[in-house]
Structure 1
Amino acid sequence: MAGGHLHLDEMSPWSDRLHHLEVIGIVDEAPGVKTFTFRSDRDCWFRYRPGQFVTLELPAEGGPLLRTYTLSSSPSRPFSIAVTVKVQAESVGTRWMFQHLRIGARIRAYGPTGHFTHVAHPGPRYLFVSAGSGITPMMSMLRWMADCAPDSDVAFVTIARRPEDIIFRRELELLDRQMPNLSLAMIVRDNPPGDTWSGHRGRLDAARLAMLVPDMATREVFCCGPDAFMALVGDIVRDAGLDMAHYHQESFGEAPANAPSEQVPPTRTDLGEAITITFEASGVTATCEPGQTVLETARQAGVRIPAACESGLCGTCKIMKRSGRVQMEHNGGILDDEIEEGYILACCSRPNENLHVDA
């Protein structure tokens, strides 16, 4: 840190929405998987809940890319944060990180946010089930437990294609020896010639999960991975008798049902007048066309509001509403107390009357 060694109580918490980060570590975790570790460019410590995510602003050619990544690090180690990412053929942002991020590089970040955390759903025992890079939020939660509650009762099941594809394998094996109530099961799907893997093989199904975790119906279950995998796990634990209020999954591709919204009666057509949005920080007033969101109007007016998922999940486009009413149908990217303070998500808010926002 720029100011040298400081104690935690001499530093401010990382609590603003926009942060500047510096890369301090890059580690190869598995083929096509890297962990990027960051510190703040200010003297502050990182405050978040294990399992939450951040949105990174990647300064790519042609304009910044906004990509959301789960924090694989634990808030019990508050001087740095880390994301563990897997590159795919279609992964524009992750591929940019692999090619351009080096030690000392600086990027901007928004967050942290997200509700996929055991802190929000405490229970006497847990089941973490993941496939591939879906292991990252589970690792954040397990690392926190290892540091702060090492006697936690956790059944940890993770699936990978090959043994070398198991992300965090060595650390998981170490934690399995250190945590007395951790039950670890690593399953690989393929069986290549000459492979010496002696652990579980095959695909996850109801019989295998029941064998590995016979008391799954009594656990708080967290699942992360491809949508088809999460649907499978959800069906298995439901059929095993789990109250699905105790089942939680993390996915940026599917909006949760019954998402809360700020409901207001429509007023736009009362007098047939056009609605305007005033972006106070930018000094711009623009007309909002029928059905447009605040984000769409901002883009047409040349006002930049950072946005990543654009479906009300990530919370990156959160802005303060100074006056006016909106109809906001989000998918968990904003908290009720933030709505009460006046915040809205620009991507899923449609004004019902003239609006003033801090953007």
Structure 2
Amino acid sequence: MTVNGVLAELNGLASAPLWNPERDEVLVCRQVIDETHDVKTFVFSAPQARRFCYLPGQFMTFSLPCGPSGEEINRSYTLSSAPTRPDRVSITVKRVEKGPVSNWLHDTLQPGMEVKVAGPAGEFTCADSSSKKFLFLSGGSGITPMMSMSRTLMDLGGEADVVFLHSARSPDDLIFARELALMEQRWSGFRASTVCESDTPSVRWTGLRGRLVAPMLPLIAPDFLEREVYVCGPAPYMTAVRTLLADSGFDMTRHHEESFDFATLMQGELEDAFAAPEPGETTYKVNFTKSRREIECGADTNILSAARAEGMRVPASCGKGLCGTCKCKLVSGTVEMKHEGGIRQREVDMGMILICCSKPTSDVVIER
């Protein structure tokens, strides 16, 4: 495209309608960027001009045709892009060994291809914070919401005071390293540091080494007890940070965390699945038309939990109404559903439910 063409596109975007999560559901891949040996950023826009409005730290749920027989699998990815640049959104994805979604994205998705999405959604964001001093702690691919927040705060004039501490396995696994260094040069209130667990054959790491431990925080942010802290990373990392902060006397009301470790999110659901209804608890019949199964479900139990307690294999990922994997048609009956963005209102109006966060309020029939 010529320079004039680009300028015309930008001028058109200024008056373009906002992306509407209730109506818009297709994104077009525009660019694929190699970040590290096993991490790529995928940049998207809408098929027609749209301006994306979201909060830094929010996620979108992607429905991708990467199942064993080509069926769609849903996965939620935090946006690494900044809402201050409304013409594009991007996700940054690490390849996971035997992971059907991440491998499909890395091996198959190319510029020009379309994908189905839902969102943006999510409550992990610094946008509603009144603080001017932040500490961003990330591990591995948990860096993505922190980059969205950092990019946004920088675009808004860089008035915030941000300390960004990222933990990685090795120098070869450093995501956004050059951009973080450039942000540090251009933004006086921004300081970025990295902790690496080990060297690589070609690079000897000379910075902080090992895993994040309590003595490192005062070195990086002497005033960390005064900051608003945002944390994202693998479950063990998040647990370690919570313990570290609490033991340091940090006010945990100023601690915020996010994780898309689906195995962890589902753990509570799996434990609930084998809990018998309480004595005297009201129960309802749940009939699955395609599976030809009928189960009993307590009024205080999510339908997915009851189904798994009966040995049913029901596709699900997040267990809390985020991803939409367990979406089903409610043929008859009523439920109480409390989701977190994994289903559109128009889908609810059409009779769809997420059984991971739906409790029966009558006998129900579900198309599954």
TM-score normalised according to structure 1 size: 0.79
Unaligned runs of 5+ in 2: 270-279, 308-313
**Any residues of structure 2 matched to 1:51-200 within 5 Å, and which?**
51-60=57-66, 62=69, 63-192=71-200, 195=203, 197-200=205-208
Q: 1:123 to 1:313 in 2, by over 3 A?
A: farther
**1-side partners of 2:286 and 2:207: how far apart?**
62
Partner amino acid, structure 2, of 1:24: R
Aligned to 2:360: 351
Equivalent residue number for residue 236 of structure 1? 244
Q: Does the 8 Å contact 2:321/2:356 carry over to 1?
A: no
Match of 1:19 in 2: 25
**Cα-to-partner distance string for 1:287-335 (whole Å, 9 max, x where unaligned):** 963228567999xxxxxx9x862401515367999996534576x5579
Q: Do the aligned partners of residues 50 and 288 (structure 1) sit closer, same or farther apart at CA in structure 2, a change above 3 Å counting?
A: farther
SS at match of 2:127: helix
In structure 2, distance between residues paired with 1:11 and 1:295:
38
Q: What's the secondary structure of 2:215's corresponding residue?
A: helix
Alpha carbon RMSD of aligned pairs, Å? Answer: 4.0
Q: Residues 10 and 109 of structure 1: is their aligned pair in 2 closer, same or farther, counting only changes over 3 Å?
A: closer
Does the CA contact (< 8 Å) of 2:171 and 2:200 recur in 1? no
> What's the secondary structure of 2:230's corresponding residue?
strand
| CA distance in structure 2 between the partners assigned to 1:353 and 1:39 by the alignment | 43
Aligned pairs (5 A) from 1:241-280: 241-253=249-261, 254-255=264-265, 268=283, 274=285
Match 1:46 to one of 43, 52, 65: 52
Q: Which residue in 1 is equivalent to 2:310?
A: none
Q: Does the CA contact (< 8 Å) of 1:49 and 1:119 recur in 2? A: yes
Paired letter, 1:79: D
Residues 46-89 of structure 1 show CA distances to partners (whole Å, capped at 9, x for unaligned) of 11111111111111251112111111111111111100000021
The amino acid of 1:232's aligned partner reads A
- Contact preservation (8 Å) 1:268, 1:275: no
Give runs of aligned pairs for residues 318-333 of structure 1, distance below 5 A: 325-328=334-337, 332=340
User: Tell me, which stretches of 5 or more residues in structure 1 are unaligned?
Assistant: 260-264, 279-283, 299-304
Contact 2:119/2:341 (<8 A) preserved: no
Identity %: 34
Q: Which amino acid aligns with 1:44?
A: R
> 1:309 — aligned with what?
317
Cα distance between partner residues in 1 of 2:78 and 2:159 = 25
Corresponding residue for residue 41 of structure 2: 35
1:202 is the counterpart of 2:210:
yes
Aligned pair count? 334
- Once residues 222 and 49 of structure 2 are traced to their aligned partners in structure 1, the CA distance between those partners, rounded to angstroms, is 47
Give structure 1 regions of 4+ aligned residues with deviation exceeding 4 angstroms.
Answer: 1-5, 255-259, 265-269, 274-278, 292-298, 317-325, 327-330, 332-335, 341-344, 354-357
